[in-house]
Amino acid sequence: MTAVDLACAIPNNVGLAEKPGLRKSLEWFDVEFRKWWFDCGPAGVRDSEAYLRTPVGVDAGGWAQYGFVPLSQYRWGVFQAPAKPGRVALFGAIAGQPVWHALPAEHRDYIRKLLITQGDTEPGSVEQSRHLALTAPSLYDLRNLLQFSVEEGRHLWAMVHLLLDHFGDAGRGDAEALLARRSGSAGNPRILDAFNNPLQDWLSYFIWCFLADRDGKYQLLSVSESAFDPLARSTQFMLTEEAHHMFIGEDGLRRVIQRTIDLMREYDTDDVAPYGGINLATMQRFLNFWAPRIYDLFGSDESARAADAFFAGIKSRVHESNYDEHVRLEGMVTVERCAPGGGEYAAVQVPMQDALNGVMRQAYLHEVTMLMSRWNKLLARAGIAVELRLPSQRFNRRFGVYADRRFSPEGDPVDEATFETRRGEWLPTAADRAHLRAVQQPVRAPGTLAGWLVPPARGINNMPALDFEYVRF
């Protein structure tokens, strides 16, 4: 296994000391990336230092250390999970054969596109959330946003490392383009639609981390057992960092919900907005807004490309090793199809290989629903007869078989007039957005917290939850 080299200007365990050409390319990228970070990284903290987790190894036991790091001097670096000697392909037509360390010519185009699309999401999410650094509800939350931001940055580095290592000058051009696109830009937007929606409030940020970073986990898991070994090892390491992003979202939403429950009981009302809280109905509308954008990220349930990538050994089901059979993809799955001419939708059974995106989305929805049931138990225990729910997969989609048609959040077909009449009930209103802007006043003194959420149960790395200066301005 290649040792971790922290003395190198680019901390790495990919042997840059023995690869001067690649090191030079990454040094070029370091300069360009820092210009992007200066322009597009978290706002207003350029000269601050933060209590961050930084990778120092790749062992499950001790892969990271915590300490104060000036954000202007942060070193991103390139890390991969350790190689497994003698590893063979797990799935597809090449199952049982040795994995690839160099890229087979016939898969270059597909993998290049995969690296670019995955890579593009990482800076996109930093750009989307950069202004939230100005309105964090506590130093703990600001620190988590900064941790998220540097790690999304490192995940871009991981994809760029593979582009530069395996695609030469073309990969360099791709890296330049990854730094040139901008979330929400009219002329040069991020590739995937979801990453062009700004995160203007912390409620949206928590929902984003809960739903979109979890989509990220599923996308990374689907290539973490890839026959292209460098991709598998890069994404395995990314997944160790990704877990914290999902925690930010899940625990952040729990804290908002708990505060709302407390205020509902204290004032005996559903409308806690006058007391500085966030109403459950507002939360539901924001879930309804974001969930369809994330559903779109999985692609069409039925996909010939997904089948090709599986049989090629590149992209599998999530937790492929948990399945019994990895070659023929036997079994049927249920998907919805629209009758030709825009008629009714009907459930049809199709061979699993034809609907691998649908298989992944179903697994994702199962996990999200399970996690949301914990919040609903909190609500039920408090005697509140409201449940937070994911909207139907049909609701408000921009891509796939449900795009251009109107449905209620429950999935019932509605006409355009009904949708418009009920829009303010189903999707965030101007009043919702104004309220969130009003309550998210920045709180930057240790020991203090904004009024719209409860404190975290514990701090980072056994530090106090609130009474600790996680960020020094």
Cβ within 8 Å of residue 116, ≥6 positions away: 159, 163, 174, 177, 178, 191
DSSP 2: P
Q: Does 255 bind Fe ion (CB under 5 A)?
A: no
Which of 460, 450, 419 is closest to 138 using CA atoms? Answer: 450
Between 212 and 449, name the residue whose CB sits nearer to Fe ion: 212
The residue whose Cβ lies closest to Fe ion is: 245
SS3 224: coil
Count how many residues are written for the chain. Answer: 473
Residues pairing with 182 in the sheet = 189
The C-alpha atoms of residue 40 and residue 128 are separated, in whole angstroms, by 9
* Contact residue for Fe ion among 143, 181, 245, 259 (CB under 5 A): 245
Binding region for Fe ion (CB under 5 A) out of 22-30, 156-164, 217-225, 240-248: 240-248
- Phi, psi for residue 369 in degrees, rounded to 5: -65, -40
Quickly count helices (H) and strands (E) in the chain: 10, 5
Q: Which stretch binds Fe ion (CB under 5 A): 93-101, 207-215, 231-239, 269-277?
A: 207-215
Which range binds Fe ion by CB under 5 A, 243-251, 295-303, 333-341, 389-397? 243-251
CA–chain centroid gap for 138, Å, is 22
Give CA torsion, residues 212, 214, 219, 222, to 10 deg.
Answer: -170
Q: Which stretch binds Fe ion (CB under 5 A): 25-33, 235-243, 253-261, 263-271?
A: 235-243
Nearer to Fe ion, 94 or 209 (CB): 209
Reduced to 3 states, what is the DSSP secondary structure of residue 154? helix
Query: Which two tokens mark 194?
Result: 């979801």
- Give the other-Cβ count within 10 Å of 364's Cβ: 21
> Smaller CB distance to Fe ion: residue 51 or 210?
210
Asked if 215 touches Fe ion (CB under 5 A), the answer is no
Q: How far is the CB of 20 from Fe ion (least distance, A)?
A: 32
Tell me if 213 contacts Fe ion by CB under 5 A.
Answer: yes
DSSP 12: B
Residue with smaller CB distance to Fe ion, 272 or 460: 460
Size of the site for Fe ion (CB under 5 A): 3
CA of 344: how far to CAs of 190, 347, 412, 454, in Å? Answer: 34, 10, 11, 46
Residues 6+ apart with CB under 8 A from 454: 255, 258, 259, 262
d(CA 445, CA 357): 46
Q: Which stretch binds Fe ion (CB under 5 A): 93-101, 198-206, 234-242, 450-458?
A: 234-242
Q: Please, which residue, 245 or 259, has the CB nearer to Fe ion?
A: 245
Q: How far is the CB of 159 from Fe ion (least distance, A)?
A: 13
Please say which residue, 92 or 216, places its beta carbon nearer to Fe ion: 216
Smallest gap from residue 213 Cβ to Fe ion (A)? 4
DSSP 3-state of 116: helix
Count CA within 13 A, CB hemisphere, residue 138.
Answer: 24
What's the closest the beta carbon of residue 121 comes to Fe ion, in angstroms?
A: 8
CB atoms within 10 A of CB 327: 14
Q: Segment near Fe ion (CB under 5 A), from 241-249, 284-292, 328-336, 418-426?
A: 241-249
Q: In the structure encoding, which two tokens stand for residue 212, read together?
A: 């979109």
Closer of 245 and 397 to Fe ion (Cβ): 245
Judged by CB, which is closer to Fe ion: 22, or 136? 136
Supply 138's token pair.
Answer: 């506590």
* Span near Fe ion by CB under 5 A; candidates 89-97, 195-203, 217-225, 242-250: 242-250
Q: Considering the complex, what minimum distance in angstroms separates the CB of residue 379 from Fe ion?
A: 27
CB of 348 to Fe ion, least distance (A): 34
Q: How far is the CB of 420 from Fe ion (least distance, A)?
A: 35
Token pair of 81 as six digits: 């999970």
For residue 152, the minimal CB distance to Fe ion (Å) is 5
Indicate the residue among 127 and 213 with the shorter CB distance to Fe ion. Answer: 213
CB of 337 to Fe ion, least distance (A): 33
Of 11-19, 99-107, 245-253, 431-439, which part binds Fe ion (CB under 5 A)?
245-253
| Beta partners for residue 240, in sequence order | none
Question: Closest approach of Cβ 290 to Fe ion, in Å?
Answer: 15
Helical (H) or strand (E) element with 346: strand 345-351
DSSP state of 236: H
Q: Contact residues for Fe ion (CB under 5 A)?
A: 213, 242, 245
